[in-house]
DNA sequence: GCAAGGTC
């Protein structure tokens, strides 16, 4: 048997799935698949020329160093599986390349057409061959026509794109490794313990967001709100009016109004409006939306959802999951897929309904992806799925079917009502046509009836009640809201966001209730020594530099050298600062040095010697008291009341009990 | 051991 690849043209793909599609498209299905050293490869001939398509599994190479200590700027690219036991699965890909690529006479980089893809293919070709003999296939989807077109129009090696990718990797490594090591050094100096800590361009701004949210909630001081609830009775049925105005801030005003409302005795119907609302189906799923929905509906974490999606993808049940696209191109062949899905009992009636449409038009969203469409089911029938896999698969199928369906139609009645000079409303909701809601029933639309009234009607008031409520702190973050926050800030990628959130938990910077003491320590250390790394702006500046490198306006060496200077300067300053320092002088949050009389963190300059968090809570208590005072509360009563409210932040409550203790002492003897 | 980025 002759060896594979004798002066062949080697086509390097980013992953096995893509390799299969590329081989099939270019060879018109004639490619022969063989398992070579455990890696699927495809062989075919065109005009006597031998082609071999070999997949990688993402990056085979990674940056590494053998130097310890900081600053560290010496690194090189090495095969990942050699240094990292968690990446042993890459070894077979490495071996397949090392047998085949040296016998190739030319190479085609057919990795995803984005910066990382350019780099993945380039590193592989460079390791075993001559990059001057490399060409680039450029495609934005794996549909046959597009792949054939890009194969006929091979581009030159996209060296500027590769340089931009290399620059990004190097800058991230320099920042991440140096600051991570600095943190570990500092922690060791303060506590005498060795502990793995980390920092990076994406994880650190995310940690800062958790800390901001945690402090905001812990120092929250509520103010009271007084609503006057009015109930009317029509035809023996009681309705609670919805207030159309802000609640009262003063109890007295609410009471006065309630008295007037009661004595007037009736409500006046001002206007009755009927409208037919139509709700378009949801967009096709991108990864972030799917992770958000899986968490909302099933409380499955974003990382777990991605893992399940990867399993479903490798089982050929769904398309590529790491996509930002909310668009489904027609070329996917939706009618065939929906016909297949209809073979599954759960979806039969819905699929039939969708197939009755003459044209299938998805409700495409605005988000896009350079290499992949939105997530859709392939139409392959799953054999047996585990519980959570079944839930996620169901979500994908339902969302997919829904996006082709008719809008949901809702009849809505809005009644404007006036009671003693204040505006109220009543809303009636009735779903008259379910449309896509039939396929994707994960939204609760509460149906409500309203009394049959007309403008000018006077309706008897049955009951007037004053209800007290309180302003609320911002909602706490969870893994799904954090992921959406990262998305909104444009940090991380589909492949990395969920895992980076897990890193914050694994490091114990963050737990179920927000930032931990360790998280606060890392936060304040980075704020003190490496504030640039905590800012979203660092990513923006990376992006600008990469764009300029891609356009040939800037060189990688230049931006990398600049990064070494910036990071090097900060590291030198850090080393000097901690050289002769006593742990108590670090003034970091999360470290008990005995300063703050409440928590023992270092004090900032203020009257009580509070740490910054308790000082912030104290300032809010003083500020918010102005509102309560207008409502007739004395300081003592105010503190008493707040200490009993559940929504008062923990740090605020701690300050309250501290103040009450010291005040008692002051007035006692 | 430490990043962020691919994918198994
Ligand atoms: Zn404190």
A362 and A379, same domain (yes or no)? yes
Nucleotide nearest to A306 (CA to C1'): B7
Give the contacts of A260 (CB within 8 A, at least 6 positions apart). Answer: A420, A421
- Cα–ligand 1 centroid distance for A633 (angstroms): 27
Please tell me whether any atom of strand B lies within 7 Å of the Cβ of A14. Answer: yes
A32 and A129, same domain (yes or no)? yes
Specify if A1 maps to a domain. Answer: no
Q: What is the mean pLDDT of residues A638-649?
A: 96
Q: Is A518 within 8 Å of A590 (Cβ atoms)?
A: yes
Nucleotide nearest to A56 (CA to C1'): B7
User: Quick one: which of A62, A63, A69, A75 has its CA closest to A184?
Assistant: A69
For A559-577, b where at least 16 C-beta lie within 10 A, e where not — what string?
A: bbeebbeebbebbeebeee
User: Half-sphere exposure of residue A261, counting CA atoms within 13 Å on the CB side?
Assistant: 29
pLDDT of A83 strictly over 70: yes
Q: How far is the CA of A86 from the C1' of B7 (A)?
A: 13
Please tell me whether any atom of strand B lies within 7 Å of the Cβ of A198. Answer: yes
Q: How confident is the model at residue A669 (pLDDT cuts 50, 70, 90)?
A: very low
A153 and A184, same domain (yes or no)? no
Q: Is A313 within 8 Å of A320 (Cβ atoms)?
A: yes
Please tell me whether any atom of strand B lies within 7 Å of the Cβ of A173. Answer: yes
Please tell me whether any atom of strand B lies within 7 Å of the Cβ of A15. Answer: yes
Domain boundary among A157, A177, A198: A157
How is residue A508 written in tokens?
């114990």
Mean pLDDT for all residues in chain A: 94
Q: Which of chain A's residues 434-453 bind strand B, using a 7 Å CB cutoff?
A: none
A191 and A306, same domain (yes or no)? no
Q: What is the mean pLDDT of residues A538-556?
A: 96
How is residue A63 written in tokens?
């940056």
The H helix count followed by the E strand count for chain A is: 21, 17
The 3 state secondary structure assigned to A484-544 is HHHHHHCCCCCCCHHHHHHHHHHCCCEECCEECHHHHHHHHHHHHHCHHHHCHHHHHHHHH
Q: How far is the CA of A144 from the C1' of B2 (A)?
A: 43
A382 and A498, same domain (yes or no)? no
A387 and A421, same domain (yes or no)? no
- Cα–ligand 1 centroid distance for A362 (angstroms): 54
Rounded Cα gap, residues A266 and A270, in angstroms: 13
How many angstroms separate the Cα of A370 from the Cα of each of A43, A112, A323, A350?
28, 9, 9, 32
Domain count, chain A: 5
Please tell me whether any atom of strand B lies within 7 Å of the Cβ of A486. Answer: no
User: Quick one: which of A29, A23, A28 has its CA closest to A8?
Assistant: A23
Only one residue has tokens 């109890």, namely: A251
- Cα–ligand 1 centroid distance for A600 (angstroms): 6
Q: Catalytic annotation on A440?
A: no
Q: Is A292 within 8 Å of A414 (Cβ atoms)?
A: no
User: Half-sphere exposure of residue A177, counting CA atoms within 13 Å on the CB side?
Assistant: 22
Beta strand A32-36 pairing with A39-46 = antiparallel
Q: How far is the CA of A492 from the C1' of B5 (A)?
A: 9
Please tell me whether any atom of strand B lies within 7 Å of the Cβ of A196. Answer: yes
A563 and A479, same domain (yes or no)? yes
Q: How confident is the model at residue A668 (pLDDT cuts 50, 70, 90)?
A: very low
Please tell me whether any atom of strand B lies within 7 Å of the Cβ of A176. Answer: yes
Nucleotide nearest to A69 (CA to C1'): B2
Specify if A602 maps to a domain. Answer: no
> Catalytic residue among A87, A113, A257, A320, which?
A320
**Crossing angle of helices A536-550 and A556-579, rounded to 10°:** 150
Q: Please give the protein residue whose CA is closest to the C1' of the nucleotide B1.
A: A196
Q: What is the mean pLDDT of residues A378-402?
A: 95
Please tell me whether any atom of strand B lies within 7 Å of the Cβ of A556. Answer: no
Task: Provide the 10 A C-beta neighbour count for residue A132.
Answer: 10
Specify if A323 maps to a domain. Answer: yes
Nucleotide nearest to A111 (CA to C1'): B6
A42 and A97, same domain (yes or no)? yes
Q: Supply the CATH number for residue A441's domain.
A: 2.70.20.10
- Cα–ligand 1 centroid distance for A311 (angstroms): 46
Q: How far is the CA of A291 from the C1' of B8 (A)?
A: 21
- Cα–ligand 1 centroid distance for A611 (angstroms): 4
Cis amide leading into A71 (omega within 30)? yes
Please tell me whether any atom of strand B lies within 7 Å of the Cβ of A563. Answer: no
Q: Which of chain A's residues 151-170 bind strand B, using a 7 Å CB cutoff?
A: 168-169
Burial of A421 (0-12, 13-18, 19+ CB in 10 A): exposed
Q: Is A587 left (phi over 0), alpha (psi -120 to 50) or beta?
A: left
Range scoring the smallest mean pLDDT among A121-135, A525-539, A583-597, A648-662: A583-597
Q: Is A178 within 8 Å of A70 (Cβ atoms)?
A: yes
Q: How confident is the model at residue A3 (pLDDT cuts 50, 70, 90)?
A: confident
What digits encode the pLDDT tens for the residues A240-252? 999 999 999 999 9
Q: Which nucleotides of strand B lie under 7 Å from a protein CB?
A: 1-8
Range scoring the smallest mean pLDDT among A524-528, A582-586, A608-612: A582-586
Q: How confident is the model at residue A583 (pLDDT cuts 50, 70, 90)?
A: low
Q: How confident is the model at residue A665 (pLDDT cuts 50, 70, 90)?
A: low
Only one residue has tokens 């009736």, namely: A266
- Cα–ligand 1 centroid distance for A126 (angstroms): 56
- Cα–ligand 1 centroid distance for A638 (angstroms): 21
The size of chain A, in residues, is 669
Q: What is the mean pLDDT of residues A381-385?
A: 90
A391 and A267, same domain (yes or no)? no
H-helix or E-strand containing A229?
strand A224-234
Specify if A241 maps to a domain. Answer: yes
Domain boundary among A157, A175, A202: A157
Note the pLDDT of residue A65: 96
Give the contacts of A248 (CB within 8 A, at least 6 positions apart). Answer: A225, A226, A227, A228, A254, A257
Please tell me whether any atom of strand B lies within 7 Å of the Cβ of A116. Answer: yes
Specify if A595 maps to a domain. Answer: no
- Cα–ligand 1 centroid distance for A116 (angstroms): 45
Q: Is A639 within 8 Å of A660 (Cβ atoms)?
A: yes
Specify if A603 maps to a domain. Answer: no
Q: Supply the CATH number for residue A549's domain.
A: 1.10.460.10
Specify if A596 maps to a domain. Answer: no
Q: How far is the CA of A547 from the C1' of B5 (A)?
A: 17
A451 and A351, same domain (yes or no)? no
Q: How far is the CA of A14 from the C1' of B8 (A)?
A: 12
Please tell me whether any atom of strand B lies within 7 Å of the Cβ of A524. Answer: no
pLDDT of A666 strictly over 70: no
Asked whether the whole model's pTM tops 0.80, one would answer yes
Specify if A479 maps to a domain. Answer: yes
- Cα–ligand 1 centroid distance for A635 (angstroms): 22
Domain boundary among A109, A140, A157: A157
Q: Which of chain A's residues 275-294 bind strand B, using a 7 Å CB cutoff?
A: none
A305 and A257, same domain (yes or no)? no
What digits encode the pLDDT tens for the residues A434-478? 999 999 999 998 999 999 999 999 999 999 999 999 999 999 999
User: Which domain range does residue A629 map to?
Assistant: 612-666
Note the pLDDT of residue A584: 64
Give the contacts of A488 (CB within 8 A, at least 6 positions apart). Answer: none
A60 and A151, same domain (yes or no)? yes
Q: Please give the protein residue whose CA is closest to the C1' of the nucleotide B6.
A: A58
pLDDT of A388 strictly over 50: yes
Q: Is A210 within 8 Å of A482 (Cβ atoms)?
A: yes
Please tell me whether any atom of strand B lies within 7 Å of the Cβ of A184. Answer: yes
pLDDT of A516 strictly over 70: yes
Q: Please give the protein residue whose CA is closest to the C1' of the nucleotide B3.
A: A176
Please tell me whether any atom of strand B lies within 7 Å of the Cβ of A39. Answer: no
Please tell me whether any atom of strand B lies within 7 Å of the Cβ of A318. Answer: no
What digits encode the pLDDT tens for the residues A289-300? 999 999 999 999
Note the pLDDT of residue A587: 81
Q: Please give the protein residue whose CA is closest to the C1' of the nucleotide B4.
A: A172
Q: Supply the CATH number for residue A372's domain.
A: 1.10.290.10
pLDDT of A636 strictly over 70: yes
């Amino acid at each position: 048997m002759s060896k594979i690849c004798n002066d062949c043209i080697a086509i390097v793909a980013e992953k096995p799935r893509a390799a299969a599609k590329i081989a099939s498209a270019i060879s018109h299905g004639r490619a022969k698949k063989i398992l070579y050293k455990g890696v699927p490869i495809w062989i075919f001939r065109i005009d006597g020329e031998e082609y071999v398509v070999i997949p990688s599994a993402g990056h085979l190479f990674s940056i590494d160093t053998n130097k310890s200590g900081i600053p560290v700027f010496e690194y090189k690219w090495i095969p990942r599986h050699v240094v990292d036991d968690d990446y042993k699965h890459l070894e077979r890909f490495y071996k397949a390349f090392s047998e085949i690529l040296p016998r190739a006479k030319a190479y085609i980089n057919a990795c995803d057409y984005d910066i990382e893809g350019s780099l993945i293919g380039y590193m592989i070709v460079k390791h075993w061959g001559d990059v001057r003999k490399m060409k680039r296939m450029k495609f934005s989807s794996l549909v046959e026509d597009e792949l054939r077109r890009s194969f006929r129009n091979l581009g030159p090696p996209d060296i500027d794109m590769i340089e931009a990718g290399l620059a990004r990797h190097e800058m991230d490594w320099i920042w991440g490794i140096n600051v991570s090591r600095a943190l570990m050094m500092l922690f060791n100096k303060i506590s005498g313990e060795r502990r793995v800590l980390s920092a990076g361009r994406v994880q650190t701004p995310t940690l800062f967001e958790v800390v901001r949210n945690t402090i905001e909630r812990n120092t929250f001081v509520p103010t009271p709100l007084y609503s006057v609830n009015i109930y009317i009775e029509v035809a023996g049925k009681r309705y609670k009016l919805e207030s159309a105005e802000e609640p009262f801030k003063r109890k007295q005003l609410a009471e006065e109004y309630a008295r007037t409302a009661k004595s007037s005795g009736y409500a006046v119907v001002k206007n009755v409006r009927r409208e037919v609302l139509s709700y378009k189906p949801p967009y096709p799923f991108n990864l972030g939306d799917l992770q958000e929905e899986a968490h909302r509906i099933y409380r499955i974490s974003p990382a777990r959802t991605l893992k399940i999606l990867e399993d479903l993808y490798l089982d050929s049940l769904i398309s590529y999951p790491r996509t930002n696209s909310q668009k489904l191109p027609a070329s996917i062949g939706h009618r065939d897929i929906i016909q297949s899905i209809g073979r599954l009992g759960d979806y039969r009636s819905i699929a039939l309904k969708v197939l009755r449409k003459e044209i299938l038009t998805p409700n495409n969203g605005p988000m896009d992806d350079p290499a992949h469409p939105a997530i859709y089911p392939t139409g392959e029938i799953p054999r047996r799925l585990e519980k959570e896999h079944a839930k996620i698969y169901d979500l994908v199928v339902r969302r997919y079917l829904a996006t082709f369906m008719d809008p949901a139609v809702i009849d809505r009645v809005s009644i404007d009502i006036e009671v003693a000079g204040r505006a109220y409303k009543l809303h009636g909701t009735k779903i008259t046509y379910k449309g896509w809601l039939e396929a994707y029933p994960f939204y609760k639309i509460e149906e409500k009836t309203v009394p049959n009234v007309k403008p000018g009607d006077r309706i008897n008031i049955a009951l007037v009640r004053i209800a007290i409520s309180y302003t609320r702190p911002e909602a706490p973050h969870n893994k799904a809201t954090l992921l959406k926050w990262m998305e909104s800030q444009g940090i991380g990628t589909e492949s990395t966001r969920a895992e980076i959130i897990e890193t914050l938990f694994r490091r114990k910077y963050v737990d179920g209730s927000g930032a931990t003491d360790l998280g606060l320590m890392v936060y304040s250390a980075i704020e003190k020594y490496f504030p640039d790394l905590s800012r979203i702006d660092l990513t923006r500046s990376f992006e600008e530099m990469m764009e300029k490198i891609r356009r040939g306006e800037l060189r990688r060496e230049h931006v990398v050298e600049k990064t070494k200077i910036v990071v090097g300067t900060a590291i030198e300053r850090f080393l000097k600062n901690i050289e002769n320092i006593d742990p108590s002088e670090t003034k970091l949050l999360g470290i008990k040095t005995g300063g703050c009389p409440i928590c023992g963190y270092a004090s900032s300059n203020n009257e009580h010697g509070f740490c910054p968090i308790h000082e912030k809570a104290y300032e809010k208590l003083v500020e918010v008291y102005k509102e309560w005072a207008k409502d007739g509360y004395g300081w003592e009563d105010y503190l008493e009341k707040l200490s009993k409210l559940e929504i008062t932040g923990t740090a605020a409550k701690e300050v309250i009990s501290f103040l009450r203790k010291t005040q008692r002492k002051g007035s006692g003897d």
